[in-house]
Amino acid sequence: MITKDMIKHTWRAKVNFIKVNNYDELSCKAAAMICAQVVLKPNSVLGLATGSSPLGTYEKIVEKCEKGEVDFSKVSSINLDEYVGLDGSNDQSYRYFMNTNLFTKINIDVAKTNVPNGCATDLQKECEAYDALIEQSGGIDLQLLGIGLDGHIGFNEPDSYFEKATHVVELDPSTIEANARFFASEADVPRKAVTMGMGGIMSAKKVLLIANGKNKKEIIEKAFFGPITPEVPASILQLHPDLTVIYSEN
């Protein structure tokens, strides 16, 4: 368990912070980084994210793939999280999101794509198996992240410590409220999720976090220009040696 005090005086890496003018520019840059990773290492392990932020990035990746600029046939992927209780056929599940917005549109082998199983009968075992999978993959080459309004990454919610392992989390009321826009009503938003922990995220060789909108400005400032604290989960990324943040206010 990493507490606040332990990291008070720790070394911090420099955040490569790129401010762009609009969402399209953000998506182009993020897609270019991901595709460059795949071109340089065709069998890359990509850590992928859901939410509205990566939608543009995925669209640009699909375009590049269609033009034959990049080949995903040897790529494998490991997604960050999944709602507990939603299976892949549920259109609000993150497996469904990934299949619809990316996997079925590019030449990735779907058998090599991984999303936690939120319907596993033994969720603890599922979490342990997920961490083993990350390790056996040889580690994530590039981890794509969005950020929640409360600073969560994956579904690592604000807490008094950073949780290392993949785990089951109770979603914050603010996250439930924010994600309700995708569901018929707030009552339909699952209350729990399985999320990769900070260990999996921080062990990625490169991290790319994307955020857009004025409503994310405050949390971006806190996370990357404020103190490192588990109350702002994304702030741990300041300790990552290869972090790029792309932010657009518009």
Question: Where does this chain bind ligand GLP (CB under 6 A)?
Answer: 49-53, 80-81, 146-148, 154-155, 175, 179
Q: Which of 141, 150, 167, 240 is catalytic?
A: 150
In angstroms, what is the minimal distance from the CB of 53 to ligand GLP?
3
Nearer to ligand GLP, 72 or 155 (CB): 155
Nearer to ligand GLP, 44 or 50 (CB): 50
- CA–CA separation, 192 and 152 (whole Å): 14
Q: What size, in residues, is the chain?
A: 250
Annotation says 122 is catalytic: no
Nearer to ligand GLP, 35 or 116 (CB): 116
In angstroms, what is the minimal distance from the CB of 112 to ligand GLP?
21
Q: Which of 82, 126, 141, 152 is catalytic?
A: 152
Nearer to ligand GLP, 35 or 194 (CB): 194
In angstroms, what is the minimal distance from the CB of 8 to ligand GLP?
27
Annotation says 167 is catalytic: no
Annotation says 81 is catalytic: yes
Question: Which residues are CB-contacts of 136 (< 8 A; sequence separation ≥ 6)?
Answer: none
In angstroms, what is the minimal distance from the CB of 9 to ligand GLP?
29
In angstroms, what is the minimal distance from the CB of 46 to ligand GLP?
14
Annotation says 157 is catalytic: yes
Burial label, 176 (beta-carbon count in 10 A; 0-12, 13-18, 19+): middle
In angstroms, what is the minimal distance from the CB of 120 to ligand GLP?
18
Nearer to ligand GLP, 80 or 119 (CB): 80
Q: Which of 126, 157, 163, 167 is catalytic?
A: 157
What does the H/E/C string look like for the chain? CECCHHHCCCCCCCCEEEEECCHHHHHHHHHHHHHHHHHHCCCCEEEECCCCCCHHHHHHHHHHHHCCCCCCCCCEEEECEEECCCCCCCCCCHHHHHHHHCHHHCCCCHHHEECCCCCCCCHHHHHHHHHHHHHHCCCCCEEEECCCCCCCECCECCCCCECCCCEEEECCHHHHHHHHHHCCCHHHCCCEEEECCHHHHHCCCEEEEEEECHHHHHHHHHHHHCCCCCCCHHHHHHHCCCEEEEEECC
Nearer to ligand GLP, 81 or 126 (CB): 81
Backbone angles phi, psi at 134, to 5 degrees: -60, -45
Enumerate the active-site residues. Answer: 81, 150, 152, 157
